[in-house]
Amino acid sequence: MATYQTIAQALHVPALTVNGSRFIADVSPVVSAEDALAQVDAIRKLWPDASHHCWAYRLRHELQTRSSDDGEPGGSAGRPILAQIDGHDLFDVVVIITRYFGGTKLGVGGLIRAYGGTAGKALDQAKIKDVQETEALDITFAYELTKAVEAVLRAHQITPTKTDFDARVRMRLDVPCEDMSTLRDALVQQTSGRVDFPLA
């Protein structure tokens, strides 16, 4: 079974103090880059007086990653956070580390240890879940085939993520990768070949 791991729910970890500076971790499940950046904005608004909001995310879709040092020396914050996400082998997650400067400079090495360590401790506490990998499938068919198509989808425990009723019915499905071939064959058989796969 093709699966990957993500976090089951958002997590807030109270401040870790390093040489007077406080580092606060917020970890959230996300589904897109826009979602991740929205979480970063929300944390900025929650802690508007903080010195830095450094972050990293890793998405399963196209294996996207991105990180930000938010004013800290280059490579001292975002990349260590991302390294922890990679090390925990998690996807669809954003980790945001908020720093309140305590008056003592930590140096690049100290920052790497502080940001990476805070992210690592947060991810160690996160509840992990397995997610089955899926692939999008669009299908179109005549209205009179609706019951036949729905019967196949019920048998495969698939619920359409989007349905449009135009000249023909159009459905968007999220199908477990390993079930794609079986589902397509069942749809063709149940409709006597009268279902179309526009993006195939």
Range of the domain at 166: 134-190
Task: Assess if residue 36 is contained within a domain.
Answer: yes
**Residue at a domain's end among 104, 131, 158:** 131
Task: Assess if residue 195 is contained within a domain.
Answer: no
Q: Same structural domain for residues 120 and 163?
A: no
Task: Assess if residue 196 is contained within a domain.
Answer: no
Task: Assess if residue 88 is contained within a domain.
Answer: yes
Q: Same structural domain for residues 81 and 19?
A: yes
Task: Assess if residue 199 is contained within a domain.
Answer: no
Q: Same structural domain for residues 100 and 179?
A: no
Task: Assess if residue 38 is contained within a domain.
Answer: yes
**Cβ atoms of 97 and 67 closer than 8 Å:** no
**Residue at a domain's end among 81, 112, 131:** 131
- For the segment 97-154, what is each residue's pLDDT rounded down to a tens digit? 999 999 899 999 999 999 999 999 999 999 999 998 888 899 999 999 999 999 999 9
Q: Same structural domain for residues 88 and 171?
A: no
**What percent of the chain clears pLDDT 70, i.e. is strictly above it?**
99
Entry pTM: 0.76
Q: What pLDDT score does 89 carry?
A: 96
Q: Same structural domain for residues 123 and 31?
A: yes
The total number of structural domains that make up the chain: 2
Task: Assess if residue 90 is contained within a domain.
Answer: yes
Given a cut of 70, whether residue 182 has pLDDT beyond it is yes
**Which residue type does 92 have?**
D
> What DSSP string runs through 152-169?
HHHHTT---SEEEESSSE
Rounded to an integer, what distance in angstroms lies between the CA atom of residue 109 and that of residue 114? 9
How many beta carbons lie within 10 A of that of residue 145, not counting itself?
19
Q: Same structural domain for residues 107 and 168?
A: no
CATH number of the domain residue 56 falls in: 3.30.230.30
Question: Mean per-residue pLDDT for 70-74?
Answer: 96
Task: Assess if residue 30 is contained within a domain.
Answer: yes
Q: Same structural domain for residues 117 and 52?
A: yes
Q: Same structural domain for residues 161 and 99?
A: no
**Cβ atoms of 58 and 91 closer than 8 Å:** yes
**Residue at a domain's end among 106, 131, 156:** 131
- For the segment 30-56, what is each residue's pLDDT rounded down to a tens digit? 999 999 999 999 999 999 999 999 999
